[in-house]
Amino acid sequence: MANASKIVPISGGFHVWTRRVGDSPIKMLLLHGGPGANHEYFEIFEDYLPPDGIEIYFYDQLGSYFSDQPNDPSLWNAHRFREEVEEVRRYLGLESFYLLGQSWGGALAIEYALEYQENLAGLIISNMTASIPSYLKYINALRDLLPKDIVDTMRAYEEKGDLDAPQYIDLVTEHLYKQHICRCDPWPDAVNRAFAHTNAQVYNTMQGAHEFVFTGNLKDWDRWPDLHKIHVPTLVVSGRHDSMNPADIEEMGRRIPNARVAICENGSHMSMWDDTEAYFRYIKDFVHAVAGQ
């Protein structure tokens, strides 16, 4: 069967949702972002990778929309999610597979590779820097390029904690999301669904209330000193207009010994949607080069 959903039991008595698309010796597990989003914005992968001989596995991490959503903030940390990925890998029987993580999923993919890279044929870090402090420095620098009155207004709302104010939401949407998260107009339905279905408890516990200040338990996450330990073939791919610094992406390529870097010149954080052809060409070329095809 080329397309099959499977519920995976994991530690704690919980269950997570997966779905396989395609039938190929080349297998790829997808790690979505958020934290607390889900696989829905990855639906476009189905149109591009299985037809080119890459079997993909969608997977909603614990807490995400299609999986169990326990009300327990202690579960939302990088270490437990890393071990969850390994449990999912074992249950699905994935050996010498490709791991693609986007945004928070890219951080999770780095964590997985640092602990379990013997299971990987290749690693794809998509739209993610190696450090949350690096991300914060860059995204605030992007904001500081905006007119001063806009920046001052946004910061005033943030200082009051009034992040649900319509004006604040409009400013963030117009000057961050539409420029650096997804440049499609209008946004694709799959992206809107993923945002609408994000688990706020997971997001707030790990990231915080908003994009410009990190208060969650990932705030000090920094793997710059450890990237040299990743020896599997690696693709670091991002968008020129991403909320992640393209200079960071280039530096990651220098620090990971067996890496190549790809920048989608028209893409943002959702490069798979706003620079689709380039994004998937980079991924397919990488996978087929590693697979010797």
What angle do helix axes 132-144 and 246-255 make, rounded to 10 degrees? 150
The string of pLDDT tens digits covering residues 95-130 is 999 999 999 999 999 999 999 999 999 999 999 999
Residues with Cβ within 8 Å of residue 259, at least 6 apart in sequence = 230, 233, 234, 235, 236, 252, 253
What CATH architecture does domain 3-138+187-290 belong to? 3-Layer(aba) Sandwich (3.40)
Give the active site residue among 60, 64, 67, 103: 103
Active site residue 15: no
What is the pLDDT at residue 293? 64
Tens-digit pLDDT string for the chain (293 aa):
467 899 999 999 999 999 999 999 999 999 999 999 999 999 999 999 999 999 999 999 999 999 999 999 999 999 999 999 999 999 999 999 999 999 999 999 999 999 999 999 999 999 999 999 999 999 999 999 999 999 999 999 999 989 889 999 999 999 999 999 999 999 999 999 999 999 999 999 999 877 887 889 999 999 999 999 999 999 999 999 999 999 999 999 999 999 999 999 999 999 999 999 999 999 999 999 999 96
Active site residue 103: yes
What is the pLDDT at residue 2? 61
Sheet with 55-60: list strands edge to edge.
3-10, 14-21, 55-60, 27-31, 97-102, 120-126, 234-239, 259-264
Give the active site residue among 67, 180, 269, 274: 269
Give the active site residue among 242, 248, 274, 275: 242
Two tokens at 165?
A: 């104010």
b/e 125-151 (16+ beta carbons within 10 angstroms → b):
bbbbbbbbebbbebbeebbeebeeeeb
Active site residue 242: yes
Helix (H), strand (E) at residue 7: strand 3-10
